[in-house]
Every structure is written in C-alpha cells, then in structure tokens.
Structure 1
Amino acid sequence: MALTLEVVGKGFRLKSADNKREFDVSPAQAKAWQEILDRRAREQGLKNSKELLENVKVAVPEAGDSQFKIGKDNKLSDADTMLMIGGNVQFSNPDLINAYHQGSLHPDFVLVPTMKPAGAPAAIDALKAPASTADHRKAAVKTYLGQHSGNVEERTNAAVSLMDSRADFGSPDMQEVRLKEIMDVLVEPYEDEATRRSIVGALKQHSWSSHDGQGLDGQKVAALISGHARTAYGIH
C-alpha cells in the first residue's frame, strides 16, 4: 500500500498505511519535493504546496502500487478513481509509477482527492466550535447521518468520512471527545449487539491517517475506537 506524505514543521515525512513504518525526509529531499509539489499545485490551479496539501492527500507508491490500487486503497469509487487518474497528468500510464526508494529527490507523487463528506459542513462546524455543547454537536451529527440512512453500511461510511475530518476538530483532547460523540450517534440507535459489533468492526478496520502530524495518528484513533466500544457499549 502506498506511503502517505505528511507535513512536519517545515519539512515532510512518509508513513505507511498501518503507521508501523516511517521514513525521514532529509533537508535536500524536502527542498526538492517542495519545488515539485509547488508545480503540482499550480497545475491544479492552486497557489502552492501548502494549499495543495490542504485539499488532497499525497500518496507515494511502493512496489506493486498503481493509481488504480491507490484509488481502491483510499476507498474511492471507480468514477472518483478515474477522476483522480485524469488529474494526475504527470503520468502517461496510470500503472507506470515508480516505487519509492529512500533518499529519492524525485519520487512519484500521486494526488488523491480528499472526498469531503456530502452535506457535512454544518456538522463539522458544530464539531469544531469551541463553545458548542455536546447536545448541539450530537444533533448536528444526527442530522448529517440522517441524510445517509439507507442502511447500516451507508451510515457507517458517512460517519467514517466525518471522523476522518478530525483535523478540523482542534487539539487532540478535543478530537477524542468529538470522535466518541460521532461513534455514539452512529452506534446507539442500533440495539442488537451483532449490528453494533459490525459497526465497531468496520470502524476499526478503516485505515485512519494523521492529517496534520500533530493530532491523533492512526494507531491512537484505532485504540480510541476500541476503548470507547468496550467502555460505552461493552464490545470487546
């Protein structure tokens, strides 16, 4: 699975999808990468790499990766994957992307669109507002999930999209509270244990990633989900 590029201070780092491996990025690499990403940003009609990284995820392929696989790994639909491929104009063939080797000054960067949760701005605004109450936040999330009430899987996917916007929720402490509140709104309407277990299982299987390098990383989110499921719902 492709590595994910993250901003750390004025530099970068690469992390594996399971958060078990990290690759340090040297100052020489960071300088070269900044120039490449600034160019990619201009190609996308954006000002610079900072604005680019606020709008897309940057994946760096490992052996066996293709743009099709990267789209699938990031849970993009077939249509969204084709849009992603169309937007990465630097590749003449979506399968011909080079595996990263440590120290590379010119890796292949694949720009992966961040799919914003449809209809979620009001929910996100409530979740990140410092003065909002728990009741206010939960009501906003309930309204958002109510737009995705076709089945359990649809509601769970909608909640995942909202939870993966956690960089907007403020400090790590605030993020933990907000993530638990989203889980509660998602899980509590279902009374049978089997359904609750399936929801928690889906949340734990999601590949959570750190958005800002300062908040909760993927392992901490997974641990939070497991701990809250155990404490709040008795699911081990």
Structure 2
Amino acid sequence: MAFVVKFDGKSFSLKSADGAQTYNVNPAQQQSWQVALEKQAKQQGFKDTSEMLSKVTVTVPNAGDSQYKIADQFGIGVEGAQVMVEGNVQFADPDLIHTYNEGDLKPDFVTVPVAPEPILGSDAPAGKPETKGAPVEGSEAPAGQTDSVKKQNAIDTLKNPSATAEQRKTAISTYLDGHNGSVEERTKAAIDLLDPNQDYGEQKVRTAKRQEILDVLVEPYKDNDTKKKVFDSLLEHTWVSEKFSDQSMDKVIGEHAKNKYDIDCDPTKWNK
C-alpha cells in the first residue's frame, strides 16, 4: 500500500498506509522533492506545493501498487479512480508508476483527490500549519474530495481527448452536485466549466462539450420554467475571452436551449 507524503511546514516525511509508522526523508531528498512537488502542483492547477498538500493527499507507490490500487486504498470507486488517473498528468504512461525506494530523489508522486489527514497534534491538514475552509465532518464532499479538486477534475476530464462522454458526465456531475443549494449556486458553478478560456479542443468538439455541461447543469430540473431560468441567467453573464466573443458563447447556449429543450430564450440575447 502506498506511503503518504507529509509536510509539517519545515520538512517532508512519509507515513505508512496504516498510519503506524513515519519515515524520515534525508536532506538531499528534501530539496529534490520540494522542486518536483512545486512543479507538479502547478501542473495540476495549484498555486504551490503547500496548497496542493493542504487540499489533496500525495502518495508514493509501494511494491505492487498501481494508480487504481492506490485509489482503492483511499476508498475511491472505479469512475472516481479513472478521473484521478486522468488528473495525474505528470505521468507519460499512467499505467507505469515506479515503486518508491528509500532515498529516492525523484519518486513518482501520485495525487489522490482526498483531503489529507491532519498532522498529529494539529487541527491543520497535512500541507499547512493552519488553514480555514478545509472540508469538515458532515460536508457534502464525497470521500473528502475538496470542491477545488472536483472542479479541476471536471476541467481536466473535459480537456482529455481520450475521456468518454460518460466519464465527462460523471466528472461534471461530481462537481456540480456539490452546489445544489440553489439554482443560482449550481449555475454559478457551471460558469467555471463553461468558461471560454478553457481549451476543450477545436470548435465542434468544444461546442459539444459545453453542451454536455449544459445538459448536466439542468438535469435536476424537470420543469422547463426552471431550465429557462438557468439558460436566461447564463445569457445575462458576460463571457470574457481574448479568443471567443461573448456573443459566440451566448449563441451556443441559446441554440442548445432551443434545439434540445424547445426553450425560447430572448433572441436578442443570442440570435443576432
């Protein structure tokens, strides 16, 4: 079972899967790991190593581990494991990860979308001395997944040309279903995924993927009045992008509302 990377604000260490043993990391490793993890954090959309380690669990493989076995170790199901594998963009071959050996300067760090266990004697997560806003008992985040991780997983899955429609739908739903407090809250969350600055591929592909986001967004609402409210709200939003105009985004939204749901939004908003 994989070892868990810990950082107390000063140095790295490794913790056994059962939490019973802690292993020191030598000075040469400390420096090398800091550089490697800083690079990985930015690859995966975090500001720095500290932020990454405060929001997700970072592991190194033990003998016989694969990414799917590590996901299972943390209680992540098959679909969630697929999203996790796709999110670990640092591996050229996701099916090939290397076993950690004592003293390794450049181990394979596997990011697991589960909130880290607190450091013993502190209320803070593994990556920071103190922080606010971490998931608490009773929150709606499944398996400890933070909202930012679910959003990033959705974006990464949408960008992945190998992801299936079902995988995209699962990733989008996982993120949006954490924002079901109100129609407005769910719609606002979807705007982050619809953002025209997200590169989802060439025109037909990115349009189709944004239509998928719209479908998942309105799926919980059975009446067309609520669906129309959602589409109207999106048409009121100002989409800011150097590559795509606000009007082109509105056209995608208005046409999909009409063609898929037979909902007539104000044509002056999109059909110009």
Q: Name the TM-score, length of structure 1 as normaliser.
A: 0.48
Highest RCO, 1 vs 2 (Cα 8 Å, sep ≥ 6)? 1
Asked which structure has the greater CA Rg, the reply is 2
